[in-house]
Structures are given as structure tokens and as C-alpha cells.
């Protein structure tokens, strides 16, 4: 089974029951050695393999490292629809577009509180990575600052961007359009992208409060995974090309997704189009899809990230806003409710201890596309898991 790595026996004995519930592991004399339909990788090894695959397609080395990290971080957090699966689309897009992933973004601070990044057909995480230090400094000096990214290529979720900002002590809000895949509430034809919105809030001594959700009923990647795995879609996810409700993932992908919450999700999707496309001077989702011309490549669009400095906003305040926020979070948890981000943080801790799971089907698809097989991790790699990624809990 290409690419899987054995966990140390001590780790296997300690956590076998948890992993069995997680992905269905069978134990033999080596510990966790047979994972149903998948393989375990150390963070460093998986990052190296993904980065090498991107460089082999001509992506500049610095961008390859950041783009690979975005995918590996999502895979580590069990956000599989935004994880290594995205490598397939990135490679196909780069093969069709010889300039994509091969240019350096241009970053400018055009006003005290506005940072502009021309991604120059690089993938969004790389443009954000280069612009983030300037955005942080602008937010701290002005109290609030915005980063407008143009001409970037869609890749991943937005939490890998707002979470690092929270670890800098800032609250952050990010949003982006993509391709017009979603109908407005009451409509049957796509107008909006899935148009995700992400938010983060720093917590002293704790992992940040983070949410990241599409304004569609479900992320498009989840529908694609259901199609790949032969699973039926959940009623309410979307319509077929004739505007009829369907639970066929392929029919939804060819038809229209639906917004969550009816008119509320539809209104939020429209807001994302206006702020992350019209405001930053880039394409609306419908125009980005038209530019694609049916090739099915990575969406090319804009993004906006707004950062807030809590200390600046608290000037002269008589209420400790951070303490009040913690009291609210405690009240939520006391009722048995889960805070947004908790599932990912739990998955992250599990992956850092036991390894990052990748399905054999996906590994086979990657091997077919690239003509290579990813090598094995050394057996002791899991004792040296790299926890230094930008989104690791600190």
C-alpha cells in the first residue's frame, strides 16, 4: 500500500481504540498497520510529497511550499474536501494554463489601512502568505485594515488565513467568490459561487474561535467527494439542470447548488460577491465561470480579508471584551454545545499523534495523474511530527 507508515507501538497501544472509531483500523503485531482504504503519513513527509508534486509541474518553489501546506493542513484537520484531494485540480489547472502558479504576486500598501495584492495568477494561499505581515502591521497601526487580493486562483478553505491572524492577536473576517455554481433562493440557475465566509477571534492561552462555512447548503467539494464515492447527496443540497430537486451528486454538479437558510444564505452570498469581487475590482462568480469557458479549472477571482486589532478598539472601554467573550464561550460549552473549530482541533491533535490519513483511492488517482508513487515515511517519523505549521495550535 504505497505511502503508508507504521505508527510506533506505544502510540498504537495508547490510541488504537480512538483510531478504530475514527477510520476503522485493524491491529496486528506492528501496531496500527492496516487502515481500511487508506494510509497514514507524517506531516513532514506528506508536505514534502505534495510540494514535490507541485514543483514537478513547474510551480515556483516558494509557492509550492505554501500551497502544499494549505492542503496538508486541511488533510491533517480532516477537512478532506479541501485537503490533498485539491492537488488533482491544481495539477490539471497548471497543465492547461502555463502561467498559473509560476509568477510572484505583487503586494502594495495603497493606503494606511488598505493592502492590495495582485496575485498574478498564483494560488490564493501564497498571495495571502506574502501579504499577511503587511496586513498585520497595518491593522495594528490603524486598528482595522483590509487586504484585497486580485487575480488569485481558488484552492482551499479560508480558515488557514483567518486562524493565523487570530494567533497574532487580531480578529479577522475573510470571504471569496468562486464559480457560479449556486442558484439564489427561489431560483433554479446558478448566479453565486459557494462564497465562503470565515471569521476568527483570538483567545488567551487557547486555540482561536474560528468558523468557516460556505453560503451554500454544503461545500462543493463535499458533493464531489460523494460523487467519487458513489454516495447519494442529501436532499436540499441542489437541483438538476432542469431545476428539479435531486439527490444525485453528478446531477447537482451539472445543475445548481442551493444556499443554506434560503433567502438568508442567498443574501450573504450576494454580499460576498459585492465585497470580494466588485469592491476589490475582480470578477463576480458568474464572470469567473464564463472566463473558464467550461474547462473546469481552478476558479480565478478575488478575495478580501479584514483584520481588527482588539487593543485599539478597546481604547477607553469599561468592559473587558475578551473576558466577556470567554464567558460566552464557557456558557456555550456548559450546555454541551460544540464551539466552531473544536472538531478540527480534535482532528488536528489526533493526526499529529497518529499520522495524517489519505485514502488509497486518492493516492491511486494522484499516482495516475503524476506518474509517480509517493514514498513511505520512516517508521519513526511520527515521533517527530512537524507541529510548526502556521495553523498549528499554539
Residues taking part in catalysis? 81-82, 222
Could you tell me which residues come within 8 angstroms of residue 153 by beta carbon, excluding any fewer than 6 positions away? 93, 100, 101, 119, 121, 122, 123, 124, 298, 299, 300
d(CA 81, CA 75): 8
Residue 315 falls in which region: left (phi positive, over 0), alpha (psi -120 to 50) or beta:
beta
CB 393 within 8 A of CB 345: yes
Please calculate the CA angle 212-218-222 and round it to the nearest 5 degrees. Answer: 100
Strands 197-203 and 106-111: what pairing?
A: unpaired
Which SS3 state, helix, strand or coil, does residue 227 take? helix
Torsion (CA) 38, 39, 42, 47 in degrees, nearest 10: -70
Amino acid at each position: 500500500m504505497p505511502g503508508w507508515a507504521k505508527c510506533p507501538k506505544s502510540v498504537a497501544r495508547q490510541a488504537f481504540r480512538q483510531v478504530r472509531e475514527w477510520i476503522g483500523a485493524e491491529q496486528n503485531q506492528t501496531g496500527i498497520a492496516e487502515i481500511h482504504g487508506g494510509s497514514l503519513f507524517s506531516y513532514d513527509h506528506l508536505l514534502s510529497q505534495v510540494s514535490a508534486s507541485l514543483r514537478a509541474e513547474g510551480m515556483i518553489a516558494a509557492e509550492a511550499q505554501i500551497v502544499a501546506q494549505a492542503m496538508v493542513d486541511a488533510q491533517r484537520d480532516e477537512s478532506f474536501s479541501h485537503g490533498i484531494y485539491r492537488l488533482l485540480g491544481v495539477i490539471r489547472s497548471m497543465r492547461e494554463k502555463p502561467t498559473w502558479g509560476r509568477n510572484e504576486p505583487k503586494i502594495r500598501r495603497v493606503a494606511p489601512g488598505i493592502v492590495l495584492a495582485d496575485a498574478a495568477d498564483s494560488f490564493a494561499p501564497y498571495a495571502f502568505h506574502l501579504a499577511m505581515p503587511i496586513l498585520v502591521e497595518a491593522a495594528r497601526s490603524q486598528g482595522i485594515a483590509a487586504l484585497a487580493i486580485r487575480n488569485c486562483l481558488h484552492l482551499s478553505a479560508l480558515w488557514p488565513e483567518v486562524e493565523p491572524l487570530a494567533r497574532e492577536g487580531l480578529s479577522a473576517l475573510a470571504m471569496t467568490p468562486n464559480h457560479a455554481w449556486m442558484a439564489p433562493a427561489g431560483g433554479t440557475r446558478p448566479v453565486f459561487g459557494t462564497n465562503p465566509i470565515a471569521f476568527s477571534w483570538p483567545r488567551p492561552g487557547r486555540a482561536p474561535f474560528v468558523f468557516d462555512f460556505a453560503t451554500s447548503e454544503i461545500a462543493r467539494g463535499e458533493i464531489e467527494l460523494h460523487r467519487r464515492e458513489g454516495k447519494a447527496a442529501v436532499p436540499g443540497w441542489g437541483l438538476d439542470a432542469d431545476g428539479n430537486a435531486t439527490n444525485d451528486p453528478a446531477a447537482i454538479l451539472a445543475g445548481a447548488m442551493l444556499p443554506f437558510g434560503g433567502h438568508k444564505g442567498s443574501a450573504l452570498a450576494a454580499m460576498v460577491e459585492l465585497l470580494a469581487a466588485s469592491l476589490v475590482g475582480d470578477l463576480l462568480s458568474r464572470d469567473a465561470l464564463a472566463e473558464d469557458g467550461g474547462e473546469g479549472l481552478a476558479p480565478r477571482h478575488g478575495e478580501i480579508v479584514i483584520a481588527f486589532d482588539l487593543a485599539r478598539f478597546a481604547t477607553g472601554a469599561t468592559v473587558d471584551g475578551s473576558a466577556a467573550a470567554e464567558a460566552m464561550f464557557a456558557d456555550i460549552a456548559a450546555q454541551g454545545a460544540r464551539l466552531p473549530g473544536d472538531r478540527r482541533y480534535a482532528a488536528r491533535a489526533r493526526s499529529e499523534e497518529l499520522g495524517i490519513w489519505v485514502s488509497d483511492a486518492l493516492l491511486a488517482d494522484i499516482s495516475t495523474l503524476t506518474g509517480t508513487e509517493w514514498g513511505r515515511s520512516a517508521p519513526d517519523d511520527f515521533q517527530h511530527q512537524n507541529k510548526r505549521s502556521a495553523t498549528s495550535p499554539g
